[in-house]
Amino acid sequence: MDLSTLFSLINKVALITGASKGIGFSIAETFAAAGAKVVISSRNQETLDEMANNLRSKGYEVSGIACHVGRSDELENLVKKTIELYGQIDVLVNNAASNPVFGPVHDTSLEAYDKIMDVNVKAPFHLMNLCFPHLRASSNGAVINISSIGGISPEQGLGIYSVSKAALISLTKVYAKEWGDHKIRVNAICPGLIQTKFSEALWSNEKIMHHMMKSLAIKRVGTSEEIGAAALFLASKASSYTTGTVITADGGFTI
């Protein structure tokens, strides 16, 4: 068995949202190291250019395309520009997420609710549909949705965020069932507490950390590189018989 080809993404094009930092950037670097041509996306073009240059300096093929995933026209432009650059999309990673509130669910405004659902659920739905004809044309089309352990069991202070991530898990399973005949695999990853800027409100809170450490089998905060490794499995031929699954990478928190 040749393991170098099992996990290879050579001749594949991967599109990753929310990829200028944290988990998204680690997935981008992992995919690029596996041979993929990678398009990273986030809202700020200047930051994307800096991060793309960082990866290109390592010999990787990476381009940055700015996109606010909460805006339909920008999602359409993102797909259009990716196709103009590389002519195909083989792997889609919906990683971009929003959580503008932390606190009791009854204090969440309608505006915050709409923002969370638009970015965390509606955007992946729209982007998957936009990418469908290109994924269908691929020899190994794959979608990876980055959910959260909050999508499995609601996290304190993250009520509507947890609801949105539960919806993303359900969306993943719906697409996996419907797209199997098109040879497109759709899976989700539910990270636990990962040390990124996005989750700083959690890992910088001593009370929350104390509670988390009591519940973890592996008593430490996870790294974005560990999520990148899980994503590589789901993007590659190594997971060719895996679809509709939810991989938890949470140090055993959900055991």
Q: Do residues 187 and 139 make contact, with C-beta atoms less than 8 angstroms apart?
A: no
The DSSP line for 188-216 is: EEEE-SB-SSTTHHHHT-HHHHHHHHHH-
CB-based burial, 97-131: b 16+ in 10 Å, e otherwise? bbbebbeeeeebeeebbebbbbbbbbbbebbbebb
The structure tokens 């996870």 sit at: 222
**Cα separation, 69 vs 43, whole angstroms:** 8
Active site residues: 161
Q: What is the C-alpha separation between 145 and 171, in angstroms, rounded?
A: 9
Q: Long-range contact list for 212-220, CB < 8 A, 24+ apart?
A: 212/253, 215/253, 216/192, 216/250, 216/251, 216/252, 216/253, 217/251, 217/252, 217/253, 217/255, 218/251, 218/252, 219/251, 220/251
Residues 6+ apart with CB under 8 A from 121: 164, 167, 168, 171
Residues in the chain: 255
